[in-house]
Amino acid sequence: MQKKAKKPRNKWTQWFVKIIEFILRNYKVEIIPEYQLYKEPMRIDIVVVKLLEDVVIKNSVMEFFRKHNIIEFKGPTDILNIEAFDRVLSYFYAYLSQNSLSPQDVTVTFISVKKPLKLLEILQKEREFEIIPSKQSGIYYIKSLIRTPIMQLVVNSELSVSDGAWLVNSIRDNWTFQEGMELVRKFEKTQDSNLLTEVMFELYTANIFTMKEGEDEMTRNEKAAMKFLDSWAVKSGRAQEWEQEGIQIGELRGEQRGMQRAKQQIFAALQQQGYDINLIKSKLPQEFA
């Protein structure tokens, strides 16, 4: 099975592919981003083929893998809904047919930054799937009595930063400051890897405002850990971008605070004149209330 690898279509999936490559660098696997099923656009985000089928991957997300493994990744701006779920099932059956495989040879993994609560509700109430939490936080098995793919859902923001799944956990834009520092410390141990370096810098950039806002509270050791990031930012020109973005965000926040003060003054004046402020707010669009 020879398929030409294509570059993933969005940056979050590109970064995720790099992390998959890093995690699996010591295993005999073939990784195919944007696996194209047909001539028309119908592509699986990532296919991982274990070349040594009996080897268990020592990673809480990937120990689930069998011979062939389909991965659907949803970044911070994507929604894993029932339409996406059904589309991936169609990919699964097309992949089986195209490669003459048994359903037991192939797993499906959905990875989502956001927990897809609506999807889980539909799967349980309307589709009669069973959602079984694994021992590892953030991983859920999707099971049914009928013959369906072997499936799991990974909510990467729920994965533990402290265990072997930290790389998958990092692919998001909602780090807390403490999570970010833990990820940076872990990255320090792997920063000699060319495969991972660019991705971790990009993820730090995606979370730059959280990380910069916590700088005043950093310990001496934490500040030392950040030096290599700042050094790279200066050399790459990213530092100037951060500064400009910081100015823009500051201006936006100033405008928002000004609007909030103006609204408070207007409501106070109306209240003094005897108007029912709660009634007025209830009739205003939510963004103005």
pLDDT of residue 254: 56
Say how many domains are in the chain: 3
Whether 1 is covered by a domain: the verdict is no
Q: What is the rounded average pLDDT for all residues in the chain?
A: 82
| 2 has a pLDDT exceeding 50 | no
Closest by CA position to 137, among listed 170, 171, 165:
165
Q: Indicate the burial class of 254 (C-beta count within 10 angstroms; 0-12, 13-18, 19 or more).
A: exposed
pLDDT tens figures, 106-137: 999 999 999 999 999 999 999 999 999 999 99
Closest by CA position to 103, among listed 146, 62, 139, 134:
146
Q: Are residues 189 and 222 in the same domain?
A: yes
pLDDT of residue 115: 94
Whether 289 is covered by a domain: the verdict is no
Residues 12/171, Cβ–Cβ less than 8 Å: yes
Q: Are residues 38 and 108 in the same domain?
A: yes
Whether 58 is covered by a domain: the verdict is yes
Q: Are residues 67 and 160 in the same domain?
A: yes
pLDDT of residue 50: 95
Q: Are residues 44 and 155 in the same domain?
A: yes
Residues 74/110, Cβ–Cβ less than 8 Å: yes
Q: Which of 119, 146, 172 is the last residue of a domain?
A: 172
pLDDT tens figures, 24-64: 999 999 999 888 776 656 789 999 999 998 999 999 999 99
Q: Are residues 30 and 166 in the same domain?
A: yes
Q: Which of 124, 152, 172 is the last residue of a domain?
A: 172
User: Which residue range is the domain that position 17 belongs to?
Assistant: 11-172
Model-wide pTM > 0.85: no
Q: Are residues 245 and 141 in the same domain?
A: no
pLDDT tens figures, 134-165: 999 999 999 987 778 999 999 999 998 776 78
pLDDT of residue 110: 98
Token couple for 100: 């003459």
Q: Are residues 146 and 102 in the same domain?
A: yes
Q: Are residues 150 and 188 in the same domain?
A: no
Whether 2 is covered by a domain: the verdict is no
Residues 207/194, Cβ–Cβ less than 8 Å: no
Q: What percent of the chain has pLDDT over 70?
A: 77
Residues 42/35, Cβ–Cβ less than 8 Å: no
Whether 288 is covered by a domain: the verdict is no
Q: Are residues 220 and 188 in the same domain?
A: yes
| 234 has a pLDDT exceeding 80 | no
Q: Are residues 88 and 138 in the same domain?
A: yes
More confident residue, 212 or 55: 55
Q: Are residues 52 and 121 in the same domain?
A: yes
